[in-house]
Amino acid sequence: MPEIVETPDAESLAEFAARAFLHAAQAAMQNHGRFSVVLSGGSTPQKMYIRLSQPPYLEQVDWNRVFFFWGDERCVPPDHAESNFGAARKALLDVAPIPRANIHRIPGELAPELSAGLYEQDLRDFFGGQDPPHLDLILLGLGEDGHTASLFPGSPALHEVEHWTAAVMHADGPPPLVPRVTLTLPVLNAAHEIIFLVSGENKASILARVVSLPSPPGDIYPAQLVRPVSGRVTWLADRAALAVWKKTPAEGNLE
């Protein structure tokens, strides 16, 4: 049974997530002198990023030793409204005293395949001989179709085992398809810790399906393929997102 933590609402989810970030950072720095974290895109983590840019986290985190990566990026320039990097920069990276050299963004302004290749090389340079890299903390979101990062149902990127990154195409809505770059499952599943951040009643149905394992083989959602070999996975969700799961007759539910 995955670890599920409930918070009353989106604000308390952001607070809980910021505290978990601080604890993971302190543990990693104590353990090996630095903290590598993968930020998630989407709207859910934005409140958490803003919390980290405020007291007490602003003062308590040793930002010089925090190294930022992304789980995925839309292939747009960094100042584009859809940029995951751009959103994190506004909420946190331009507010906290973070050395620019510690920020390893996905170069979304470049062609998808080139961007994916450069990002993979950046990861390989940072993690030296580690294959796959062991990131200290990976933050992930959950889409209503069960995707996470930019690993969408039926995507060939789900079967990528050689490369740590992949260029994907996705219909975000009406055409055109939106090119993206994503980390692949070998990297996600090598993480020391993963925290899924899920908020809102619109996620209640998919969250109940994703955490109520096991799924029939043909029915597995991408988020269910995130099963770190030895890392810890926590589903951090607010009450609205857990409403369906708590009604699901299965052992271990919260109520």
Ligand X SMILES: O=C(O)[C@H](O)[C@@H](O)[C@H](O)[C@H](O)COP(=O)(O)O
φ/ψ of residue 65, rounded to 5: -110, 15
Sheet strand arrangement including 72-74: 72-74, 178-183, 165-170
Q: Which of residues 112 and 143 has its CB atom nearest to ligand X in the complex? A: 143
Confirm or reject binding of residue 179 to ligand X (CB under 6 A): no
What one-character DSSP code corresponds to residue 91? I
Q: Closer CB to ligand X, residue 133 or residue 146? A: 146
Measured in whole angstroms, the distance separating CA 32 from the mean position of its chain's CA atoms is: 22
Name the helix (H) or strand (E) containing 70: strand 66-70
Give the residue at shortest CB distance from ligand X: 141
Structure tokens at 193: 């810790």
Give 6 or 238: the residue with its C-beta nearer to ligand X: 238
Taking CB under 6 A as the binding criterion, the range among 36-44, 113-121, 158-166, 204-212 that sits at the site for ligand X is 36-44
Question: How many residues at the interface with ligand X, by CB under 6 A?
Answer: 15
Asked if 57 and 51 touch (Cβ cutoff 8 Å), the reply is yes
Q: Does residue 40 interact with ligand X by CB under 6 A?
A: yes
Of the residues 41, 86, 179, 231, which one makes contact with ligand X according to CB under 6 A: 41
Q: Should residue 107 be labelled a site residue for ligand X when binding is judged by CB under 6 A?
A: no
Structure tokens at 239: 């009450």
User: Within a 13 Å sphere around the CA of 49, how many CA atoms are in the beta-carbon half?
Assistant: 24
Q: Applying CB under 6 A, which of residues 36, 83, 84, 224 lies at the interface with ligand X?
A: 84
Choices 86-94, 119-127, 143-151, 244-252 (CB under 6 A): range interacting with ligand X? 143-151
Q: Are strands 193-198 and 137-140 parallel, antiparallel or unpaired?
A: parallel
Give the interface with ligand X as residue ranges (CB under 6 A): 40-44, 71-72, 84, 141-143, 147-150
